[in-house]
Amino acid sequence: MALTITEKIVRNASGRSDCRPGEIVTCRVDLALLLDSGGPRRIWPRLKELGVGVWDPERIVLCTDHFVPAVDTASAAILKLTREFAAEFGINKFFDMQGIGHLMLAEQGFLQPGMFACGGDSHSTHGGAFGCYISGFGAIEMTGVTVTGEIWVPVPETVRINWEGEFQHGVVAKDIMLKLCRELGMNNGGVVMEYGGSTVRAMDMQERAVLCNMAAELGAETGIVEPDEVTLQALRDAGQQPAADAIEWCSDPDAVYKTRLDFSSAELEPQVAAPHAPSNSGPVGDYRGTKINQAYVGSCVGAKLSDLHMVAEVLRGRKVKPGTRLMVAPASARVMTAAAADGTLAVITQAGGIMLPTGCGACAALGAGILAEDEVCVSTTNRNFKGRMGANSASVYLASPYSVAAASVAGELVDPREMLGSPP
């Protein structure tokens, strides 16, 4: 029987010879990602209540990212408890203040094609770029995974989304996702978004991760990209050997999809999502001239090295507009180091950008850079719900790193293509 990559992974993890979309099955978990936010502080008291330990410390990756660095005694206490949990249970894959967990999995090469993994954060879908099934769950369910190494999932249907052709300069994966949020809505429960086509094949892993990360905004079970040589090379670059069967985890040519969608990348314009939902999006021209107080470059989806390169490309030889503040929180320590070494940080700071510590930061109103009443921010992050980045009356516009950098220079939303020598 012809299957999609996701059906193959779920079938394998469930140990069943057959499973059909809509059924609920219990899967063995190859890897569990725990974060400081919904990790030890919520799981440890439950383990004590149950009188048990963790099922397999080698299959758990623990990262501090939401509350780093501590800004008050409450966040300091959460981080302390997280470190104590790692020591108590012998979690060797513990990354303390090294970056956002979703990036840690990618940088360390922990995700192999065909794996079934879980994360205690909705944007765990990020890792689907490696051709594995990884989705986000609440801390109560991650407690169950930590104890049993198992979780139930509905066998999802798959939506195949093909993007063909080349982007215009200044258009990137983030623009794809803001457009898809508008076109598909945020209520796609029970389906997996499988991305393909020549545009996706040409993307590096950082851009593929954007497509999978924001499958969370589509309300999907997760997002996935079939593995290819780019995937295998990323694993080798991370110091890991790709599994022998890695490249075989692909959808069959006659696999059954719920729907197939085809898009042309050459026609895509830079997109902006207006307050207060990622689905409230349109071409950047629709929002041109919207004045901003803050431009924010941060989060798992929008502060990878490739994102910082986009920001620097716009800022080179330009200045952040007086009265506007640009803040940049690199998504990992490795990104910070690489951006320092290749001159990217110098370009950003000479333009007037302020560097913030690595971590989830202001994206979920937890770290530096949160907004006051009635302020307006344009952000490379993935959510702009009311109150998401601070005060309830603040407005957040979502856009690509190119568009956010361009807005910081103009003090208002503009088409980044105008600053990239590729006017529309």
Partner 1 sequence: MSGKAWVFGDAVNTDVMAPGLYFKSSMEEMAAHCMEALDPAFAKRVKPGDLVVAGESFGVGSAREQAALAFKHHQIAAILAPSFGRIFYRNALNFGVPVLRFPAYAEVQAGDELSVDPIAGSVINHTQNKHYLVDPIPDYLMGMVNAGGLMPWLKQRLAAGEIV
Applying CB under 8 A, among 37, 64, 380, 381 the residue interacting with partner 1 is: 37
Applying CB under 8 A, among 2, 50, 340, 372 the residue interacting with partner 1 is: 50
The CA-atom distances, in angstroms, between 239 and each of 57, 84, 109, 307, 410 are 21, 28, 7, 23, 42
Applying CB under 8 A, among 187, 244, 289, 322 the residue interacting with partner 1 is: 187
Reference 234, options 107, 72, 411; nearest CA is: 107
Applying CB under 8 A, among 8, 334, 388, 417 the residue interacting with partner 1 is: 388
Reference 7, options 158, 130, 152; nearest CA is: 158
H/E stretch holding 245 reads none
Applying CB under 8 A, among 247, 338, 365, 376 the residue interacting with partner 1 is: 365
Neighbours of 50 (CB within 10 A): 11
Name the segment binding partner 1 (CB under 8 A); options: 145-153, 163-171, 251-259, 303-311: 145-153
Cβ of residue 374: shortest distance to partner 1, in angstroms?
14
Tally the C-alpha atoms within 13 A of residue 291's C-alpha that lie toward its C-beta: 6
- Using DSSP's 3-state secondary structure scheme, residue 95 falls into strand
Cβ of residue 291: shortest distance to partner 1, in angstroms?
23
Contact between 390 and partner 1 by CB under 8 A: the answer reads: yes
Cβ of residue 234: shortest distance to partner 1, in angstroms?
25
Contact between 120 and partner 1 by CB under 8 A: the answer reads: yes
Applying CB under 8 A, among 122, 358, 380, 395 the residue interacting with partner 1 is: 122
Name the segment binding partner 1 (CB under 8 A); options: 5-13, 44-52, 206-214, 397-405: 44-52
Applying CB under 8 A, among 1, 24, 346, 372 the residue interacting with partner 1 is: 24
* Residues 60-79 within binding reach of partner 1 (CB under 8 A): 66-67, 72, 74-75, 78
DSSP class of residue 184? H
Residue 90 vs 387, nearer CB to partner 1: 387
Token digits for 219? 């309300």
The helix/strand count (H/E) of the chain reads as: 14, 18
Applying CB under 8 A, among 1, 52, 340, 346 the residue interacting with partner 1 is: 52
Contact between 148 and partner 1 by CB under 8 A: the answer reads: yes
- Nearest 10 degrees: CA dihedral of 85, 88, 94, 95? 50
DSSP collapsed to 3 states, 389-401? CECCCCEEEECCH
- Using DSSP's 3-state secondary structure scheme, residue 28 falls into strand
Say if CB 141 and CB 124 are below 8 A apart: no
The single-letter code of the amino acid at 313 is: E
Q: Pairing relation of β-strands 150-154 and 157-164?
A: unpaired
Residue 184 vs 246, nearer CB to partner 1: 184
Q: In the complex, which residues of this chain contact partner 1 (CB under 8 A)?
A: 24, 37-38, 42, 46, 49-52, 66-67, 72, 74-75, 78, 120-122, 124, 136-141, 143-144, 147-148, 152, 186-187, 189, 219-221, 277, 279, 364-366, 370, 383, 385-388, 390, 392
